[in-house]
């Protein structure tokens, strides 16, 4: 007897259902950690809040920190997709900056930072060791993919070529610096409220400092 292959429509429904479940778990994890703190939040409580089983949670996430920070992983994927689609001849650092700009400007699928209490969660990830470790793992994974994309854009297959890693570490570092300043600003700090503007200022600072540090613009004493 030959097994019936699922139709595309069935696959789409399954994918939507899986995404809805994952989003519900991520939202529950974020809410509970902000309400009670990471130490007092359990996987069982997250699953119960999302109205799924503990086993279902484990199919989606390795732990509560991964669930709470799933928005970071998702938006890292989005930035990489936008980076991959940038014009071929565009310099890599500029391509990364414009990919980030597109991500922040998307109104159909808004970036995570516009959601309620996300600033608080990011600030908490800076002080809670387990959240910080999960954040770093997710960030490194996203940057490794960015490096592969930039290497392909540069036509580089040499593992010793420092350019892809240097570009990505600098570009992602600027974004991280802006995010940390934004998160530390507090919910009522209007000066840091516009993350997109803060990111642009950070990239301007990087390019300005990089130009000032070139051998042509400096002299040996």
133 Cβ contact list (under 8 Å, min separation 6): 65
For 160, how many CA atoms within 13 A lie in the half-sphere containing its CB?
A: 0
Q: What is the pLDDT of residue 219?
A: 53
Q: What pTM was computed for the model?
A: 0.84
Q: Given the structure tokens 């999302």, which residue do they identify? A: 50
Query: pLDDT digits over 16-53, tens only?
Result: 899 999 999 999 999 999 999 999 999 999 999 999 99
CA 27 to chain centre: 16
DSSP codes of every residue in 44-111: HHHHHHHT--HHHHHHH-SSHHHHHTHHHHHHHHHHHHHHHTS-TTS-HHHHHHHHHHHHHH-SSS--
| Contact of 112 with 75, CB cutoff 8 Å | yes
Give tens-digit pLDDT for 177-203.
998 888 887 555 444 458 889 999 999
Nearest CA-CA partner of 109 in 71, 149, 143: 71
Residue 156's contacts (CB-CB under 8 Å, 6 or more residues apart) are 163, 164
């Amino acid at each position: 007897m030959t097994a019936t292959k699922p139709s595309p429509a069935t696959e789409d429904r399954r994918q939507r259902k899986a995404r809805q479940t994952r989003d519900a778990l991520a939202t529950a994890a974020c809410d509970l950690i902000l309400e009670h703190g990471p130490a007092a939040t359990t996987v069982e409580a997250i699953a119960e809040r999302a109205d799924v089983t503990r086993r279902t949670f484990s199919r989606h996430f390795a732990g509560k920190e991964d669930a709470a920070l799933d928005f970071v992983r998702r938006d890292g994927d989005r930035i990489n997709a936008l980076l991959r689609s940038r014009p071929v001849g565009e310099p890599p650092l500029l391509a990364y900056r414009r990919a980030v700009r597109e991500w922040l400007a998307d109104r159909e699928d808004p970036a995570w930072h516009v959601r309620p209490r996300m600033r608080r969660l990011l600030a908490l990830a800076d002080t809670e060791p387990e959240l910080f470790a999960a954040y770093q793992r997710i960030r490194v994974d996203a940057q490794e993919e960015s490096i592969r994309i930039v290497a392909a854009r540069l036509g580089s297959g040499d593992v010793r070529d420092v350019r892809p890693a240097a570009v990505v570490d600098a570009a992602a570092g600027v974004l991280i610096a802006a995010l940390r300043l934004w998160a530390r600003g507090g919910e009522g700090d209007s000066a840091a409220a516009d993350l997109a503007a803060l990111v642009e200022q950070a990239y301007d600072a990087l390019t300005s400092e990089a130009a000032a540090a070139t051998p042509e613009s400096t002299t040996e004493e």
